[in-house]
Amino acid sequence: MSAALLELDRVGRTFGGVRAVHDVSLKIQEGEIVGLIGPNGAGKTTLINAITGVPPPTSRRLRYRGTAIGHKKPNHIAALGLARTFQVVQPFPDMTVLENVMAGSLFAGGSASMADARDAAREQLEFTGLAPLADRPASKLTLANRKRLELAKSLAMRPKLLLLDEVNAGLNSAEVNQALELIGKIRARGITILIIEHLLKVVLTLCPRIVVLHHGELIADDAANDVVRDPKVIEAYLGSKFAERYGARHG
Amino acid sequence: MRRNFLILLIGLIVLAPVPFLTDTYVLRLGTTALMYVSLSLAWNMIGGFAGYPSFGMAAFFGLGAYASGILQVNGFAGPVGWIGAGLVGLAFALALGAVVLRLRGHAFAIATLVVAEVLKEITNAWNSLTGGGMGLNMPYQKMDPIAGARIYFYAMLACATISLAATILVAGSKLGFALRTIKQNEDAASMVGVNTTTAKVIAFALSGALGALVGGVYTSWINFIEPADVYDPLFSIKPIVMVLLGGSGTVFGPVLGAAAFLLLDEIVWRNFLETHTGILGLVIVLLILFLPKGLGSLSWPRLLQRSAR
């Protein structure tokens, strides 16, 4: 079997005496789309932060395409093809939408010049449907469009692996459907995705494989159908009501 | 970028004949103005583009002044002293930047504020090299006063030109783009692959080298330097006020701001001899409150339209 695209070997992150993430081991293969779920405060975002290096993990056994990245700085990790979106969107507020996306293509997407970066950014704006808003300042966008901007910026980095942190939080159902469609198109480009998501509908639609984090530890890592039946997961996160309904619907 | 260089060229053509059209008093004002234009542009590199509020300009200015002075006292020609000053400033800023740029916001401001004080004390104490508190006299040069005034006007004009050219180049480059992302959101900048440390250190080094170069020329112009004069905190503060006045993080804002500040200073000083600092301060506070993005952000066509109505 070939080496995994991303491999976590007992990765941890402590804040003072608090173990936010503890002993998480995980492999993601090229081309996969994996859902990461768990209750609030389970350490999902902390785990993604640890992978991308801000702040770095306290136990650093991370390998990306076979190279150790636990000690690398965030900008090096980004340049290797690992991009992320933020749950609380992090645009460059006073720059235009186009400039925001240009930053991604210029510093991690391999664009040789400013002009190249601008072209590459326009392409991503077309892809995400933000092209009509290219010259607006990022601070003037609606939440749904800011989330799209996060995606466009990450895509401009030409990632191999995309870490999506709650891209659907705060969106209404029509917006969620649009976002789902977009994620589907990103997958079709062959980009591997790890997605944190609270909406089970989204996770179950997108992800054949789900991992569950609870109190900073991995309590399940399996096919989606098995994970939602796992008693530990039901107790920690899904609740018995969900299990009953899901069971009734899917047998 | 081409447009900006064109504006710079036009500015140079306008200013070039000035020394032959005026007296030494106006030349002295002009030289002072060009000095502050250069210092404002230097501060804008780190404070305007990267958004790091440095209070360290006096440290670089004073260090450059002394580097130039010490070289000249030891027999080197003025221009050698100036280049030496720029290089010393560059080296010092690289070393200092690698340490203090780990701090952000207020902590960074305080850290840079104390550097000038430390250098001043060292200069005071190191009698054998710097002349200590007695100051340093430049070697006497027999020169016609008007010829001297012209030479130093052109020398400061050269400093301002170098500073503005560097600013135009940075603003249009990948480095300038990186600095803007750092100013807006440093963590997000590193996430999109910006090497934030390198970008900040380069901006700080450019800022320091330019500030020290200006200090180096100042020594030759004034002929006598002492620690309390060249490490004066006002050399840190005035450029900041000027940049805020003109437009922080823009190319021509610092130029506009320095000119506007000195003009205001002159007008207020002439009319309110006793209370001029207070009134100047008030005017600046009002301007910054009501024009937070600086004079450069005014839309002149719209203003004219409104006043015509």
Partners of residue A209 on adjacent β-strands: A34, A223
DSSP annotation of A238 reads I
- Is B17's pLDDT higher than 60? yes
Per-residue pLDDT tens digits for B185-198: 998 899 889 999 99
Of all residues in chain B, the percent with pLDDT exceeding 90 is 58
Distance from CA of B185 to the nearest CA of A (A): 6
A132-146, A223-237, B38-52: which has the minimum mean pLDDT?
A: A223-237
Measured CA distances, B54 to B14, B49, B62, B116, B214 (Å): 32, 12, 15, 12, 17
How many domains are contained in chain B? 1
- Residues 6 or more apart whose CB falls under 8 angstroms from that of A136 comprise A96, A97
Burial class (CB in 10 A: 0-12, 13-18, 19+), B54: buried
pLDDT of residue B18: 86
Would you state the structure tokens that stand for residue A204, as one six-digit string? 């179950």
Amino acid letter, residue B64: G
Rounded to an integer, the average pLDDT of A17-35 is 90
A18-27, A100-109, B31-40, B280-289: which has the minimum mean pLDDT?
A: B280-289
- Residues 6 or more apart whose CB falls under 8 angstroms from that of A182 comprise A128, A129, A148, A151
Domain assignment present for residue B45? The answer is yes
Q: What confidence tier does A154 reach under pLDDT thresholds 50, 70, 90?
A: very high
Of all residues in chain B, the percent with pLDDT exceeding 70 is 97
**Do the chains contact at A75 and B190, CB–CB below 8 Å?**
yes
pTM: 0.88
Q: What confidence tier does B309 reach under pLDDT thresholds 50, 70, 90?
A: low
**Do the chains contact at A75 and B193, CB–CB below 8 Å?**
yes
Residues of A in contact with B180 (CB under 8 A): 92, 95
The β-bridge relationship of strands A33-37 and A192-196 is: parallel
Q: Which residue of A has its CA nearest to B195?
A: A75
Rounded to an integer, the average pLDDT of A88-101 is 91
| Runs of H (alpha helix) within B272-299 | 276-290
The β-bridge relationship of strands A33-37 and A217-223 is: unpaired
Q: Which residue, B176, B107, B94, B196, is CA-closest to A53?
A: B196
- Which of B173, B181, B187 has its CB closest to that of A103? B181
Domain assignment present for residue B232? The answer is yes
Q: How far apart are CA B168 and CA A62, in angstroms?
A: 42
pLDDT of residue B291: 78
Rounded to an integer, the average pLDDT of B206-216 is 96
**Do the chains contact at A90 and B191, CB–CB below 8 Å?**
yes
3-state class of A23 per DSSP?
strand
Query: To the nearest whole number, what is the mean pLDDT of chain A?
Result: 88
Distance from CA of A243 to the nearest CA of B (A): 38
Would you state the structure tokens that stand for residue B75, as one six-digit string? 């027999």
Residues of B in contact with A104 (CB under 8 A): 192-193
- Is B22's pLDDT higher than 90? no
Q: How far apart are CA B103 and CA B90, in angstroms?
A: 20
- Is A161's pLDDT higher than 60? yes
- Which of B172, B178, B185 has its CB closest to that of A107? B178
DSSP annotation of A68 reads E
Domain assignment present for residue B209? The answer is yes
Query: To the nearest whole number, what is the mean pLDDT of chain B?
Result: 89
**Do the chains contact at A157 and B192, CB–CB below 8 Å?**
yes
- Residue of B1, B190, B192, B200 to mutate, interface with A, max A Cβ within 10 Å: B192
Q: What confidence tier does B43 reach under pLDDT thresholds 50, 70, 90?
A: very high
Would you state the structure tokens that stand for residue A73, as one six-digit string? 């700085």
Burial class (CB in 10 A: 0-12, 13-18, 19+), A37: buried
Domain assignment present for residue B80? The answer is yes
Question: CA angle, B91 as apex, B216 and B199 as ends, to 5°?
Answer: 115
Domain assignment present for residue B93? The answer is yes
Q: Which residue, A197, A87, A89, A84, is CA-closest to A141?
A: A89
Taking the CB of residue B232, how many other CB atoms lie within 10 A of it?
Answer: 16
Rounded to an integer, the average pLDDT of A120-149 is 91
Taking the CB of residue B139, how many other CB atoms lie within 10 A of it?
Answer: 11
Taking the CB of residue B271, how many other CB atoms lie within 10 A of it?
Answer: 10
**Do the chains contact at B192 and A52, CB–CB below 8 Å?**
no
Rounded to an integer, the average pLDDT of A19-29 is 90
**Do the chains contact at A107 and B184, CB–CB below 8 Å?**
no
Distance from CA of B178 to the nearest CA of A (A): 8
Per-residue pLDDT tens digits for A34-92: 999 988 888 899 999 899 888 888 887 889 988 888 888 889 999 898 998 888 888 89
Residues of A in contact with B50 (CB under 8 A): none
Q: How far apart are CA B203 and CA B205, in angstroms?
A: 5
Distance from CA of B182 to the nearest CA of A (A): 9
Q: How far apart are CA B290 and CA B85, in angstroms?
A: 39
- CATH code, domain carrying B243: 1.10.3470
Q: Which residue, A87, A37, A41, is CA-closest to A213?
A: A37
pLDDT of residue B308: 65
Rounded to an integer, the average pLDDT of B67-75 is 91
pLDDT of residue B307: 66
Amino acid letter, residue B33: A
The β-bridge relationship of strands A67-68 and A62-64 is: antiparallel
Domain assignment present for residue B168? The answer is yes
Residues of A in contact with B196 (CB under 8 A): 75
- Is A183's pLDDT higher than 80? yes
- Is B109's pLDDT higher than 50? yes
Q: Where are the beta strands (DSSP E) in chain A?
A: 6-15, 18-28, 33-37, 62-64, 67-68, 82-84, 161-165, 192-196, 209-214, 217-223
Q: What ipTM describes this predicted complex?
A: 0.85
Distance from CA of A245 to the nearest CA of B (A): 41
- Is A196's pLDDT higher than 60? yes
pLDDT of residue A170: 82
**Do the chains contact at A94 and B184, CB–CB below 8 Å?**
yes
Would you state the structure tokens that stand for residue A19, as one six-digit string? 């173990």
**Do the chains contact at B194 and A153, CB–CB below 8 Å?**
no
Contact A137, A91 (CB under 8 A): no
Domain assignment present for residue B5? The answer is no
CA B41 vs. chain centroid, Å, equals 5
pLDDT of residue A251: 59
Domain with B84 in it: 25-308
- Which of A54, A86, A93 has its CB closest to that of B190? A54
Contact B44, B253 (CB under 8 A): yes
Torsion angles phi and psi, residue B203, rounded to 5? -60, -45
- Is A1's pLDDT higher than 60? no
Q: What confidence tier does A211 reach under pLDDT thresholds 50, 70, 90?
A: very high
Domain assignment present for residue B298? The answer is yes
Q: Does A104 touch chain B (CB under 8 A)?
A: yes
Per-residue pLDDT tens digits for B276-307: 778 878 877 887 788 778 887 776 666 667 66
Contact B49, B62 (CB under 8 A): no
DSSP annotation of A131 reads G
pLDDT of residue B216: 95
Taking each helix axis as running N to C, give the angle between helix B57-73 and helix B105-125, from 0 to 180 degrees, rounded to the nearest 10: 30
